[in-house]
A and B are shown apart, each in its own frame.
Chain A
Amino acid sequence: MYPTKYHKAASIDDAVAALGAGEEALVLAGGQTLLATMKQHLASPSDLVDIRAIDGMSGVSTDGDMLVIGAATTHAEVAGSADVQRLCPALAGLARGIGDPAVRHVGTIGGSIANNDPAADYPAGLLALGATVVTSKRQIGADDFFQGLFTTALDDDEVITSVRIPAASRAGYAKFRQPASLFALVGVFAAQGAGGTRVAVTGAGEDGVFRHVGLEAALGADWSAAAAGGVGVASEGLLADIHASAEYRANLIGVMAKRAVEAS
């Protein structure tokens, strides 16, 4: 790794200040992606600003029927949270399926969505559930937050503090793992709630996580596996790589959508 300067931020203001002061400072949360990238010399931040010790950054709370998850809450904590299991068991299941147990003990929801890996799980969950990302300076709806491959609406000196997730009346997530990395080759999160019927797909889009209009329409009319299975999923705009062709991903979107509904 290239040398870097480690900061343990004591407050959000402290973190924002450190991000602004560093030449190329990055937020460190769980570091499960960032540190691997640094080891391979693909990233060499001048400063790492660790936000995990900031008061209130970790943990799950509720605001009425709204889940409020601190940015530095680990995947294991989300999976194990009684509130998440009660208000959105599909999200608990999503968290339980990320990576492996050791990764889940360290990796965080804030880190996952800030990185916006096109094969990560949380972006699909947040997009389908119509979540709101709360940062050091504003609130951003999931539809506006995720902006393409590894790209979000975040400014360089902006820190995610929490995620607000409205409870869904029905929700399910089904993932097909890429066998090497265990990331999603295709993951489909389908949800129905106050915001209507929303179906988000990760792992498959050329521009990262996206909502599937056809599946939303079909499931909006009839929340059933059969309805999901009846939607022809086109391969245009889908990723093709050594692990899967666009056609195979299109097939998996249909199958995973069915299974997500079955799991709801």
Chain B
Amino acid sequence: MTNVSMTVNGKAVSREVPDETLLSEFLREHLRLTGTHVGCDTSQCGACVVHVNGKAVKSCSTLAASLDGSQVTTIEGLANGGLHPMQQAFTENHGLQCGFCTPGMIMTSVDMVNRYKADGKELTAQAIRGELAGNICRCTGYHNIVKAVEDAAAKM
């Protein structure tokens, strides 16, 4: 067992957990933040993406113990009250159906837009599709997800 302390969604948390606890398990089982989903076991689907120190990370492939002292943001903490422009864009563009991949899609997309804006690069539809390589959706065919990201990028 190891003591893990981190800041999750702006709040300091500390838990005694088994050393092998994945960040996804830490969030879902120990903090009961169940918005972070697990859709595969080989790091392809991206339903589990959260932000660690401001960067998109697959929480199913990261040990909680290694993130002691980190800042973690999950889908539950993305917006400071109300909705983040990316969340707003997903609903306005019908970028979700069953909702299972959605938290990871949104967290990945926010990270994507932040990186492109920081680098001053244009985020084209083609670039969005490439950047979504680590997130699988079975419902939407991605069409409206791409529209949502384009829409949010213009507003972020």
Residues of A within 8 A of B (CB): 1-6, 8, 28, 31-32, 35-36, 38-40, 48, 50, 52, 76, 99-103, 105-106, 180-182
Contact = CB atoms under 8 A, between A and B. Distances in A.
Contacts of A102: 46, 49, 56-58, 108, 111, 134
Contact of B20 (A3, A32, A99): A3
26 contacts: A1-B20, A1-B22, A2-B20, A3-B18, A4-B19, A4-B20, A5-B19, A6-B2, A6-B20, A8-B68, A31-B62, A35-B61, A35-B63, A36-B41, A48-B19, A50-B63, A50-B66, A101-B56, A101-B111, A101-B133, A102-B56, A103-B134, A105-B55, A106-B58, A181-B44, A182-B133
Contacts of A1: 20, 22
B57 A100 contact: no
Contacts of B43: 32, 36, 103
A4 B44 CA distance: 24
B41 A32 contact: no
B25 to A, nearest CB: 9
Contacts of A106: 57-58, 61-62
Given A4-B20, A35-B22, A52 B41 contact: no
Interface string B5-39: 00000000000001110100000000000000000
Contact of B56 (A4, A5, A31, A105): A105
A56 to B, nearest CB: 18
Interface residues of B, number: 31
Contacts of A180: 44
Given A1-B20, A6-B2, A103 B65 contact: no
B58 A38 contact: no
B150 interface: no
Contacts of B65: 6, 8
Contacts of B2: 6
- Please name the 10 residue pairs, one residue from A and one from B, whose CB atoms are nearest each other, closest first: A100-B134, A6-B19, A100-B133, A6-B65, A105-B55, A1-B20, A102-B56, A102-B58, A4-B20, A35-B61
Q: Looking at A4, A50, A100, A102, which has the most chain B CB atoms within 10 Å of its CB? A: A102
B155 to A, nearest CB: 21
A76 B58 CA distance: 14
B116 to A, nearest CB: 11
Contacts of B20: 1-4, 6, 38
A186 B120 CA distance: 32
A181 B42 CA distance: 9
B131 interface: yes
Contacts of B18: 3
A37 to B, nearest CB: 10
Contact of A36 (B42, B68, B111): B42
B37 to A, nearest CB: 14
Interface in B44-98: 44, 46, 49, 52, 55-58, 60-63, 65-66, 68
Given A36-B41, A181-B42, 16 more contacts: A6-B63, A6-B65, A28-B63, A31-B62, A31-B66, A32-B43, A32-B58, A35-B22, A35-B61, A36-B61, A38-B20, A40-B42, A101-B133, A102-B56, A102-B111, A105-B57
